[in-house]
Chains A and B, each alone.
Chain A
Amino acid sequence: MKRSKLWPYLLLIIGAVVMVFPFVWMLSTSLKAPMDIFNLNIIPESPTLENYKHIFEESLFLRWFLNSIIIAIITTISVLFFDTLVGYIIAKFSFVGRTVLFIMILSTLMVPTEMLIIPWYMMSSDFGWTDTYWGILFPGLMTGFGVFLMRQFMEKIPDDLINAARIDGMNEFAIFFKVAIPQVWPAISALGIFTFLSNWNAFLWPLIVIESSGLRTLPVGLSFFSSGEAESKWHLIMTGATISVIPLILVFILLQRHIIKGITLTGMK
């Protein structure tokens, strides 16, 4: 009886070590002096912050970090606003072209991003959007997935609630913000978290549209840094990796309940 209770823990601990070890090794290397990195101790003998100092002083990491935050936040706000609004309108209003619009938006879900990068690149060069924040942002300002998700949740709001607000004389925008949105708050936070994560990690499009190093996002910056100026300087590469990984891990640990609930919520739809 006792044995059967213990083995799941044992297996889970082995798995947990596999999950955590790369992060431990990354952090450990980032705290080592260059000549110590091939000394394979997990705890550095003489830990140093020299690598971090070097990275913040000699490279654009801080700049890339800010770029990533700005882009992820603007995109997330835009996606939340537009996807929720369009989802609400499709769910709760009948108007000419509603079905056509919904089918049009759903059909975009089937098209992989890779199919769009060539026309987006042409558009960007024609309109002078390459190498600008707008160039990185514009493809992600709205998502078909978000509209689909929000429509599902908005449909569950009772019509009576909305009509009652109309009779009370609220205007349509006020009804949207004060009546509809509070009803679907969990779905909105889930969509927000996903949008932020996927934009934070976006690599292919920013790599194509950005030319100057100052405008790079963190993933693109880190990739160029690791294969370029820091090539084979593993202490610096691991420091850069630590800087890009740790803030998100901390945010995740703080918000983990919401994030896990969000996946369950959107996954079960």
Chain B
Amino acid sequence: MKTHHNPSNQTETNQSTTTNKPSLMTKLKGSQKRQKYIFVYTCLLLPILFYLGIRILPTLFTFNVGFRDWNLLSSDAAPFVGMDNYVALFQDEVFIRSIFNTILYIALGVTGQLMFGIIVALLLHKINRFVGLFRVIYFIPYVTSIVAISWVFQWILMGNGIINDLFVKIGIPPQPFLNSPDQAIYVIIAAMIWQSIGFQMVLFLAGLENIPEMLYEAADIDGATPWQKFWRVTVPLLNPTIVFSAVIGTINFIQISFTQVVNMSVDGSGGPLNSTLSIVVYIYQLAFRQFDMGLASAATVILFLFILGLTLFQMKVLTKKFDY
């Protein structure tokens, strides 16, 4: 394209094209435009229906039901009761317990998986043989069925299972693990961490590979210890990965906590004594055991606000500006 052109010249060429073949050009342009519009709106028809009908309206519906007294078993009418469901939930000891448990699941579980993920990634970054093999081994739990693995852990950790057998052999008294209201939640958290180390490891490995070697060399010249290098170079440069991992890890954790708790807790519903009950498990019980849709909907709204707040909090706290 020429940058300096004669304006009169340009109008001349324009005129000549319009006089020479005006109909063809405009026709082509017009039909192409029409074709584009037809394409766009035809293709968007089903997605728009889907997002409206299966995502957006149901979300609004849940907000609405949360303000109603609606039990599928008792009555057809669902009177508007304002904040009653929310008040009832916050006076419900079991619900409060499930919130605290969920916070514990996230606080320990997400921190644990980030920590182990970074450690494994750093170790893999240090070695130069068998990296591929180790990566596969650490990643395998992530692709396997949570239900299957939960039952395997139940079997391993049974009263007369292999871990307790090992404990007895080395002189530690056998532990109740999943049968103990004090231990069960930690056992489940450990299983959840075990399953997600591989995922975090892959994210952190990619993050580590993006850190220029030069920065470590510069730190060496300045006489930095390995510990200083880790906190001053590695961690700040991995920051975007850490934020992403924490946010994704939290959302995943809240969802898989249901599968894991249902399949690992002794009674299949958050026991013993509700010690492993998570919010999602409690919502399931309210909705599909007691059929109290009003209470359950209100609880999901609280869960929604909880996740939203947590995500914003994580993004704010974890995203720090570093000066290089």
Interface residues of A (CB under 8 A from B): 8-9, 11-12, 15-16, 18-20, 22-23, 25-26, 29, 38, 40, 82, 85-86, 89, 93, 95, 101, 104-105, 107-108, 110-123, 138-139, 141-142, 144, 166, 171-173, 197, 200-201, 203-204, 208, 218-220, 222-223, 226-227, 234, 237-238, 240-242, 244-245, 248-249, 251-253, 256, 259-260, 263-264, 267-268
Contact = CB atoms under 8 A, between A and B. Distances in A.
A139 B120 contact: no
Contacts, number: 232
Given A118-B65, A204-B258, A264 B203 contact: yes
Contacts of B143: 197, 248-249, 251-252, 259
B59 A12 contact: no
A119 B58 CA distance: 5
Q: Chain A's interface: helix, strand, loop or mixed, by majority?
A: helix
Closest 3 pairs (CB-CB, A-B): A119-B58, A172-B39, A241-B148
A241 B46 contact: no
A116 B287 CA distance: 12
Interface in B146-165: 146-149, 151-153, 155-156, 160, 162, 165
Given A208-B288, A219-B259, 17 more contacts: A8-B126, A12-B127, A19-B198, A108-B59, A110-B307, A111-B55, A112-B251, A119-B62, A138-B54, A201-B146, A226-B263, A238-B152, A241-B152, A242-B148, A248-B144, A248-B145, A263-B202
Contacts of B90: none
A237 B59 contact: no
Contact of B55 (A82, A108, A237, A240): A108
A29 B155 CA distance: 10
Given A25-B155, A118-B65, A226-B151, A268 B145 contact: no
27 contacts: A12-B127, A12-B134, A15-B138, A19-B140, A19-B198, A20-B140, A40-B162, A95-B37, A110-B307, A112-B254, A114-B254, A114-B255, A114-B258, A116-B54, A118-B300, A119-B59, A120-B54, A142-B50, A197-B143, A204-B255, A204-B284, A222-B148, A226-B151, A256-B139, A260-B202, A263-B199, A267-B241
Contact of B206 (A101, A248, A249, A267): A267
B174 interface: no
B146 A203 contact: yes
Given A19-B137, A118-B65, A260-B139, A93 B145 contact: no
Nearest to B32: A166
B17 to A, nearest CB: 16
A263 B142 CA distance: 12
B280 to A, nearest CB: 5
A219 B263 CA distance: 10
Contact of B59 (A20, A116, A201): A116
Interface residues of B, number: 87
B300 A38 contact: no
Contact of B144 (A89, A101, A245): A245
Contact of A104 (B51, B127, B248): B51
Contacts of A29: 155
B140 A252 contact: yes
Given A85-B43, A234-B155, A113 B255 contact: yes
Interface in B30-46: 32, 35-37, 39-41, 43-44, 46
A260 B151 contact: no
A122 B78 CA distance: 14
B200 to A, nearest CB: 10
Given A113-B255, A115-B304, A256-B139, A264 B202 contact: yes
B94 interface: no
Given A112-B254, A118-B62, A25 B146 contact: no
A210 B244 CA distance: 34
B7 interface: no
A8 B127 contact: yes
A113 B139 CA distance: 26
Interface centre among B37, B43, B268 (most CB of A within 10 A): B43
A114 B137 CA distance: 32
Given A82-B47, A108-B56, A248-B143, A260 B135 contact: yes
Contacts of B124: 12
Contacts of B206: 264, 267-268
Contacts of A120: 54, 58
A114 B152 contact: no
Contacts of A38: 160
B140 to A, nearest CB: 6
Nearest to B210: A268
Nearest to B252: A198
B44 A114 contact: no
Contact of B43 (A89, A117, A200): A89
B88 interface: no
